């Protein structure tokens, strides 16, 4: 699709806003609709659009498969790690109340952290799956 000038220009304009919207959905999920899962999907979709328009090789340079592969695990580790931290603080697994002095604030912090973990894993997995599919097709 390298020769589709209109597509290239429009997607170049849109992709920053898609990624920004994903971050908004991620960090505003506590107050409005959305959360880590939706944000991760939108973030991944931004990269997939980039790969569709500018080619897989270019996209691989932006989102290095080795980095993405690590991020797949990092998200789950953040989620599980929050649980371990609450264990170490003397609470039950994934009981966020002890993460701050006020239990409600600890809950808020814990929710934000695990949503971030969810978003990281989902975005990385979406990009990985797309790269795997698209990489197969070019043999």
Return residues touching other proteins (CB under 8 A): 1-2, 25, 29-35, 37-38, 41-42, 44-45, 48, 52, 55-57, 60, 65, 69, 72-73, 75-76, 79-80, 83, 94, 96, 103-105, 107-108, 110-111, 114-115, 117-118, 121-122, 124-126, 128-139
Give, in order, the Cα–Cα distances in Å from 70 to each of 11, 63, 85, 90.
27, 12, 21, 30
Minimum CB–partner distance for residue 85 and other proteins (Å): 13
Q: Which residues does 53 contact at the CB level (< 8 Å), separation at least 6?
A: 1, 4, 7, 8, 11
With respect to other proteins, which residue has the nearer C-beta, 13 or 31?
31
CA distance 27 to 108: 12
Taking the least distance from each CB to other proteins, the nearer of 90 and 137 is: 137
Cβ atoms within 10 Å, residue 7: 15
Q: Which is nearer to other proteins, 9 or 73 (CB)?
A: 73
Nearest residue (CB) to other proteins, 10 versus 132: 132
Q: Are 97 and 107 in contact (CB under 8 A)?
A: yes
* CB of 91 vs other proteins, minimal distance in Å: 12
Smallest separation, CB 13 to other proteins (Å):
19
Mapped onto helix, strand or coil, the DSSP state of residue 55 is: coil
């Amino acid at each position: 699709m390298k020769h589709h000038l209109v597509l290239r220009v429009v997607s170049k304009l849109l992709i920053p806003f898609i990624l920004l919207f994903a971050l908004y959905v991620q960090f505003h999920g506590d107050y409005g609709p959305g959360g880590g899962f939706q944000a991760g999907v939108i973030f991944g979709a931004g990269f997939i659009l980039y790969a569709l328009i500018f080619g897989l090789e270019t996209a691989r340079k932006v989102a290095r498969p080795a980095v993405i592969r690590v991020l797949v695990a990092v998200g789950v580790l953040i989620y599980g790690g929050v649980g371990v931290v609450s264990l170490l603080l003397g609470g039950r697994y994934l009981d966020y109340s002890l993460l701050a002095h006020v239990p409600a604030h600890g809950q808020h912090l814990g929710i934000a952290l695990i949503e971030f973990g969810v978003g990281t894993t989902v975005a990385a997995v979406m990009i990985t799956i797309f790269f795997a599919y698209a990489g197969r097709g070019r043999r």
